[in-house]
Amino acid sequence: MKLKNKVAIVTGAGSGIGRTTARTFAAEGASVVVVDIEKKTADETVDSIRKRGQNAVFVRTDVSKGSDVETMVAQTIQKYGRLDILFNNAGIDIAKPIVETTEEEWDRTLDINLKGVFWGCKFSLPPMMDGGGGIIINTASILAHVASPNQAAYSASKGGIIALTRQIAYDYASDNVRANCISPGDVLTPMAKNFFDSCEDPEERMKFFTDRYPMKRFAEPSEIARVALFLASDDSSFITGQAIKVEGGFSIW
């Protein structure tokens, strides 16, 4: 029960890393606000938590809109009276080289991935400070550290997340707020599985990707969730401003 009596917001919690992390936080004692733009999948996350006798509610939010995020935080405070943990996890990827990326695609990627983190931190920091401190965890990517083909907008957005996280960690350390990033490599989420299933030869395509990893596999969502739990708990009490790589050795080549 590492998060007993804590209140946590998890964005992008309708599937994948977000869903698994929401369930992990709830299992460790947190009341979890499940945030997603898709109600159906988020409701499934909430139901899976409640069936285990744990506490969760859904708040539909478009993280690219400041008014939505402000309401998300306000509803959290109204429901639970406090906010201890924010996991900014929602994100998208548009895989294109920069010369083929439209302004609309660039703006959408940056609005969700980077501005979404800005809004989340902007509106979550005041109630955290009022409550004596808090934890911010932002999902970056290994592609904020290394290059990969056709990831201009995505890589830029994730690199921005790391820089923003460092600044928040610096500015609010005296308020007992810690801020860190997780930089995952490829994760075997439902979205990833659907991508490989759509390929002409799924096994060959999967092997092409996993061969880039010394560990020769993708991460499971639970492996990212356990790092999020570590950063959300007192186990990481002297860690702030860091980007923790969880990428099976991808960047050591």
170 is catalytic: no
Contact 198, 180 (CB under 8 A): no
- The CA distance from 37 to 108, in Å, is 14
Torsion sign over Cα 3, 9, 11, 15: positive
Helix (H, G, I), strand (E, B) or coil at 250: helix
Catalytic choice (154, 170, 172, 213): 154
Residues 3 and 30: beta-carbon distance below 8 Å: yes
Alpha-carbon distance 1 to 161, whole Å?
A: 29
Question: What is the DSSP code string of 24-92?
Answer: HHHHTT-EEEEEES-HHHHHHHHHHHHTTT--EEEEE--TT-HHHHHHHHHHHHHHHS---EEEE----
Catalytic residue list: 154
